[in-house]
Structure 1
Amino acid sequence: MTVTTVANPRGDPGYEATLPCVPQSARSARSLVSIVLSVWALDDLADDTTLVMDELVANAARHASGSRLRVSITRPADHLVRVAVTDHCPELPVLMRPDAQDERGRGLVLVTALAAAWGAVPLRRGKRVWAEVGPHP
């Protein structure tokens, strides 16, 4: 699989890649996050940010239609990163409250625990789900 990464030409510093809409793309997305955070000298955010990206890609691969998804990582502030996944499914994610017996529904609970904020933006053809990760207080 070939991944083309493009630097963001305007706005916040950032990178994005278009990936197949399959669970295996989470690995490429995690790799992009790790590399970018290393370049930005934000290695202390790498564990939480890669896990958040992993969950967002997994959700897109599980629920979205279409053959591709787009992942991005930007830096809206010095020690804050925003990861996002854009897919072709118009249905917005819903935070579940799974119990101990539930086998699914924990992804956004994990994102909520690790991210300073997260949300979803409806688009003309799908949605963008994003999360911001910064240092823990």
Structure 2
Amino acid sequence: MTSLGGGGAAGGLQTRVRMVARPSSVPAVRRFVDDALVGWGRLDLVDDVTLSASELATNATLHSGSTFFEVELSADDAAVRIAVVDRGAIPARTIANRGDVATSVEAVEDESMTGRGLFLVSALASAWGVEDLPGGTRVWAEFVTGTADYTPRAPQVRGAVAPLDDADVRVIELLGCPPDLLLAHDANLADIARELRLFGASHQDEEMVEAAEQVVEIVRLSAVAWNAARLVAKQGILDGRTQVDVAIASADPADLPRKVQVLRRAVGAAEAMMARGLLMTLPAPAPVQEWRDWVEGEMIEQATMDREPVRFSEWLAGRR
């Protein structure tokens, strides 16, 4: 069995998401893991990995002192591996001691939720450990199909050579966000990118191919942070909520205005083609267009002007 340690599943499936370190992020982490494992066909490990991910995310949220954390999930034929990486200053040994299997169950019951959580991870995982990173910590766990032994295991504790990304990270808040509009925006962008690419290839139109690539590239660059918003929206829909508060940990916020401008220009080119009947995709409906205007303003102004967030309903009231 190969331990996750500082790496992922070489040649296997990998995904990750960046979450703001708040308790409200934990349900989105569970949704992230559940969606990925179901999509990968690893139904046998969904319960154990999802529960462990929830505990690791709670640990990062309550005790790391970090503004954000990243969840890394990977899988191959042998195992599923999860890691939570934060920028906290707590040494690996201190974290590992909270879940140390030498601690009795009775003693664990007297400890904090984090102690109980890591003790649970140590029992569910086939192997787990903690690594000191330059400027942070990675807590990882590995799960093997068919493992029925829930005996707690001692953690592997070591340093790691891979540093954390030192890019500036700014928390962007989208308060009172209608989850259906967020998901409709995502679906519309995916349709636009796909049809622009097909049109450009079939008509040898380099401009349209470039526009499609711009949409895809901006979406790719933003995926680690934006996936958190999508997860919160999906969970909100499942819970029957009409509004959710979304927090996005955006790296390199100074570059957000450029990304927004490039994306808006590419979408505008696609909508001009729709008006001429060249594309089958329809423009996003008016509520989604309004929502995009609000999101663009919130992201740019919160990132570059450090202003307080404005709720969607308040923004709408001021616009009409």
TM-score by length of 1: 0.84
Aligned counterpart, 2:190: none
Gaps of 5+ in 2: 1-7, 149-320
Asked whether the equivalents of residues 90 and 123 of structure 1 are also in contact (C-alpha less than 8 Å), the reply is no
Aligned counterpart, 1:42: 42
Q: Is 1:120–2:130 an aligned residue pair?
A: yes
Aligned counterpart, 1:99: 106
Q: What is the RMSD of the two structures over their aligned residues, measured on CA atoms? A: 1.9
Give distance in 2, aligned partners of 1:126 and 1:11. 26
Q: Is 1:63–2:70 an aligned residue pair?
A: no
Asked whether the equivalents of residues 90 and 122 of structure 1 are also in contact (C-alpha less than 8 Å), the reply is no
Q: Deviations over 1:80-106 (max 9, x none)?
A: 111110011132212252526515221
**1:11 Cα deviation (Å)?**
4.8
Aligned counterpart, 2:85: 86
Higher helix share: 2
Aligned counterpart, 1:13: 13
Asked whether the equivalents of residues 71 and 84 of structure 2 are also in contact (C-alpha less than 8 Å), the reply is yes
Number of residue pairs aligned between Structure 1 and Structure 2: 128
Give distance in 1, aligned partners of 2:87 and 2:14. 22
Bigger RCO of structures 1 and 2 (CA < 8 A, at least 6 apart): 1
Give distance in 1, aligned partners of 2:51 and 2:72. 14
Aligned counterpart, 2:73: 73
Higher strand share: 1
Aligned residue for 2:58, secondary structure, equals helix
2:137 aligned partner, one-letter code: K
TM-score by length of 2: 0.38
Gaps of 5+ in 1: 1-7
Which of 112, 123, 130 is the aligned partner of 2:140? Answer: 130
Give distance in 1, aligned partners of 2:22 and 2:12. 28
Asked whether the equivalents of residues 65 and 89 of structure 2 are also in contact (C-alpha less than 8 Å), the reply is no
The runs of at least 4 aligned residues of structure 1 exceeding 3 Å deviation read none
Q: Deviations over 1:35-68 (max 9, x none)?
A: 1111110011000000000010011111112211
Asked whether the equivalents of residues 83 and 141 of structure 2 are also in contact (C-alpha less than 8 Å), the reply is yes
| Identity level (%) | 37
